Amino acid sequence: MKQKKSDSAYRVEIRGASKSYGSLKALYNFDLTIEPGTFTVLLGPSGSGKSTLIRSIAGIERLDSGAISFGDRVVADNGFHMAPEKRDLAMVFQDYALWPHMTAFENVGYALKRRNLDTTEANRRINEALERVGLSSKGPNYPFQLSGGEQQRVALARAIVGRPSLLLFDEPLSNLDADLRERLRVEIATLTREIGATACYITHDQSEAFALADQIGVLRAGELQQIAAPEEIYRQPANRFVAAFTGISGSFLGTVIESKRHEVIVQLGTQRLECRTPTKLKTGDSVEVLIRPSATSLSHHHSNTLPAIVLDVAYRGRGYEHVVECEFGVISSVFAHESTPRGSKVDIYIDPHNCLAFPSEKKVSETASIAQLSHSK
Partner 1 sequence: MALDSETHVRSRVPFLGRIRITPMAVFWTLITFILVIPILLFLSVAFSPRLMSQGHQWFTLASFKPVFSGAYGLALLHSLILGVVAALGAMVIALSMAWLVLRTNTPARILWNTTIFALFLAPSYLIALGWQRLFEQRGVLEIMGFYVEPIRNLLYGPVGICLVLMVKGIPFAYLVIANAMRGLGEEFEQAVRVHGGSRFEAFKVMAALLMPSLFSAMAIVFAEAISDFGVANTLSNVGHFSVATYQLYQGINSIPVNFPVSAATSLTLLALVILAILAQNRALRGRSFRTLSGRTRPATQTKLSFFGKISTSTYIVGLLLITLGIPVFGAISASLLQGLGSLLSHYTINFSNYSRVFHSRFLRNPLIYSTEMSLITATLAVGLAAIASKVLTSARNSRSKRFVDFFLLAAVALPGIVFAIGYIFTYNLKFINDIGLHIYGTSFLLALAYTANALPSTSRSLVGNMGQIQESMMDAARVHGSGAAKAWIDVTMPLIARPLLIAWLLTFSGTLLELPVSELLYPPGSPPVAVGIELSLAGFDYGGGTAIEVLSILWALVVVGVAFFLFNRFAPPGWKRLGNLR
The residues of the shown chain that bind partner 1, judged by CB under 8 A, are 55, 58-60, 67, 72-74, 77, 79-80, 83-85, 87, 89-91, 93-95, 97-103, 106, 110-111, 113-114, 142, 144, 158, 162, 168
Of 89 and 248, CB closest to partner 1: 89
Query: Which of 331, 336, 334 is CA-nearest to residue 319?
Result: 336
In angstroms, the CA 48 to CA 44 distance is 6
Of 4 and 15, CB closest to partner 1: 15
User: What is the CA 131 to chain-centroid distance, rounded?
Assistant: 28
Query: Shortest Cβ distance from residue 19 to partner 1 (Å)?
Result: 13
State the CB neighbour count (10 A cutoff) for residue 181.
Answer: 18
Query: Shortest Cβ distance from residue 45 to partner 1 (Å)?
Result: 21
- Three-class SS of residue 218? strand
Residues 136 and 153: beta-carbon distance below 8 Å: no
Of 113 and 342, CB closest to partner 1: 113
Query: Shortest Cβ distance from residue 11 to partner 1 (Å)?
Result: 15
- Three-class SS of residue 199? strand
Residues 327 and 271: beta-carbon distance below 8 Å: yes
Query: Shortest Cβ distance from residue 151 to partner 1 (Å)?
Result: 12
Of 40 and 246, CB closest to partner 1: 40
Query: Shortest Cβ distance from residue 361 to partner 1 (Å)?
Result: 37
In angstroms, the CA 360 to CA 85 distance is 48
Of 111 and 135, CB closest to partner 1: 111
User: What is the CA 309 to chain-centroid distance, rounded?
Assistant: 33
Strand pairing category for 286-291 and 355-359: antiparallel
Of 116 and 119, CB closest to partner 1: 116
Query: Shortest Cβ distance from residue 111 to partner 1 (Å)?
Result: 4
